[in-house]
Structures are given as structure tokens and as C-alpha cells.
């Protein structure tokens, strides 16, 4: 049972355009959400997070949007750069029980074309 | 470089064997987490240690065990290996007790291949 789903395994975007990566979750106990970025042969690297008390968090070119009613979050990268090409993982956690640990989606491979 | 080191990088072994994966956390971090990533899957949480004590268990098989030593490095032991255990195994560390907003820093992973 996948509690965090990234339905697009891959996404290609032109350099300079916006990249939008999507993530859906099913566990209503989740209230803290993160995005990690992973390059080949490296471990995931924390990118940005958002608490359920907010609906938007911005850090430079990266913005995460949270729609609690839809149980959906998205990561916007503007403008996209070739160096952004990587696998992006969405992760979620809650404050109780097994939800306390991070649950990851299966990832989306972003390719930014020059 | 996250500051988390994992050895070995690659491990090839046969079914039925036992292996040990090693992780050294970032300097000062007290929490260590282990994750398994199988083909086309997300990272699956296995186990969390804080300052030498087990704090949480995920979907870790009984054939797998882990420990965190006084110097805070951790080892993940996988025994009676099966083909399905082939995966990337990541270790992560964080500063505090595993409070969920602690940023976890990941090592580069160990790729285990069971033949």
C-alpha cells in the first residue's frame, strides 16, 4: 500500500521553463512533507520542506505547494536549469505511530534539456 | 558530500550468505537511519537508532538486524540472503532524537547484489 505516490516516473522540461513535480498522499496522519533530490551514485539530498500549517514554502528557485484537502503537494522549479536534472523524491511524516518515520514516494526523474 | 560515509559501495554475494553494511554518521549526529531502495521503488524505512538505542522499526525483515556502537557508527546485518534482497541500502543521520523535522543527511548507499 503506497501511502506516498509520485505517478510520473519521468518529466522532461526545457531549460528556463518551469518544472512541476507532483506527489499525492493517502495517510491523513501526515503533516510534514519534504522533497529530496538524488543524483546518480549519490544519496538523496534534502531540498525543501513544508508543514501542514502552511500551503506554500519558497526557497530560491524552489517552491513547494501543499493542498491538504486534495492530499496533494507539488514542487515548482523556476527557472529550470540543466543541473536540476536528477531524481526527485517526495516524502511525508506524521506525529504519531508509524507515521513518525519518513515515507517516500518512488521518485520522478527530471531531465532539463539545454 | 553529506558527511555520511557508507562501506562498501558495492557488494556481490550469493543466496544464503550473510553480509554487514557499515555507516558512519556526520560528526555530531546522534541518530542513524537505514533505508532500502529496491528497483523502481522509493526508499523504505528499515530502522532508526539514537545514541546507541533502537528507536523505531519499519518493515525490517527478521533476517535483518542492526546496531549502533558507542562511537555512533552503525552496522546493518543481512543474513540468509535471498535474490529479492538485492537493492540499494542507504544510511542517513540527523542531529537529534529523530524528531521528524530533523533534516536527514544520506550517505551514498551500498549496492547489494545477491546472485
Residue of A37, A102, A107 to mutate, interface with B, max B Cβ within 10 Å? A102
Interface of B with A in 74-93 (CB under 8 A): 90, 92
CB contacts of A9 in chain B (<8 Å) are: 40
> Residue B25 — very low, low, confident or very high, per pLDDT cuts 50/70/90?
very high
Is there a contact between A47 and A30 (Cβ–Cβ < 8 Å)? no
B101/A43 CB distance under 8 A: no
Per-residue pLDDT of A5-50, as tens digits, reads 999 999 999 999 999 999 999 999 999 999 999 999 899 999 999 9
Q: In this structure, what are the phi and psi dihedrals at residue B76, rounded to the nearest 5 degrees?
A: -115, 120
Per-residue pLDDT of A97-106, as tens digits, reads 777 788 999 9
Helix (H) or strand (E) holding A71: none
Work out the minimum CA distance from A105 to partner chain B, whole angstroms: 5
Q: Is B109 on the interface with A (CB under 8 A)?
A: yes
pLDDT beyond 60 at A96: yes
Mean per-residue pLDDT, B60-72? 96
Q: Is B52 exposed, middle or buried (0-12, 13-18, 19+ CB in 10 A)?
A: middle
CA separation for the pair A21, A28 (Å, rounded)? 21
Mean per-residue pLDDT, B41-66? 92
Mean per-residue pLDDT, B62-79? 97
What pLDDT, on a 0 to 100 scale, did the predictor assign at position A97? 72
Please state, in angstroms and as integers, the Cα–Cα distance from residue B35 to each residue in A13, A73, A114, B68, following that order: 30, 23, 34, 15
pLDDT beyond 80 at A88: yes
Q: Is B21 on the interface with A (CB under 8 A)?
A: no
By Cβ distance, the residue of A4, A101, A105 closest to B56 is A101
CA separation for the pair B65, B75 (Å, rounded)? 8
Amino acid at each position: 500500500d503506497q501511502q506516498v505516490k509520485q505517478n510520473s516516473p519521468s518529466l522532461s522540461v526545457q531549460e528556463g521553463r518551469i518544472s512541476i513535480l507532483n506527489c499525492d498522499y493517502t495517510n491523513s496522519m501526515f503533516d510534514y512533507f519534504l522533497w529530496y533530490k538524488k543524483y546518480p551514485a549519490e544519496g538523496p539530498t534534502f531540498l525543501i520542506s513544508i508543514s501542514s500549517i502552511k500551503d506554500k514554502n519558497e526557497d530560491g528557485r524552489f517552491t513547494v505547494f501543499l493542498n491538504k484537502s486534495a492530499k496533494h503537494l507539488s514542487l515548482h522549479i523556476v527557472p529550470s536549469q540543466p543541473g536540476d536534472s536528477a531524481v526527485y523524491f517526495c516524502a511525508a511524516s506524521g506525529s504519531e505511530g508509524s507515521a513518525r518515520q519518513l515515507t517516500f514516494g518512488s521518485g520522478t526523474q527530471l531531465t532539463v534539456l539545454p | 558530500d553529506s558527511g555520511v560515509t557508507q562501506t562498501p559501495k558495492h557488494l556481490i554475494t550469493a543466496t544464503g550468505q550473510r553480509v554487514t553494511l557499515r555507516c558512519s554518521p556526520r560528526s555530531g549526529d546522534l541518530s542513524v537511519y537505514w533505508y532500502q531502495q529496491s528497483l523502481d521503488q522509493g526508499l523504505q524505512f528499515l530502522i532508526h537508532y539514537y545514541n546507541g538505542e533502537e528507536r523505531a522499526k519499519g518493515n525490517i525483515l527478521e533476517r535483518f538486524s542492526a546496531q549502533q556502537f558507542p562511537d555512533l557508527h552503525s552496522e546493518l546485518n543481512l543474513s540468509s540472503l535471498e535474490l529479492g534482497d538485492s537493492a540499494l541500502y542507504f544510511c542517513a543521520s540527523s542531529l537529534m532524537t529523530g524528531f521528524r523535522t530533523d533534516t536527514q543527511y544520506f550517505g551514498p548507499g551500498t549496492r547489494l547484489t545477491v546472485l
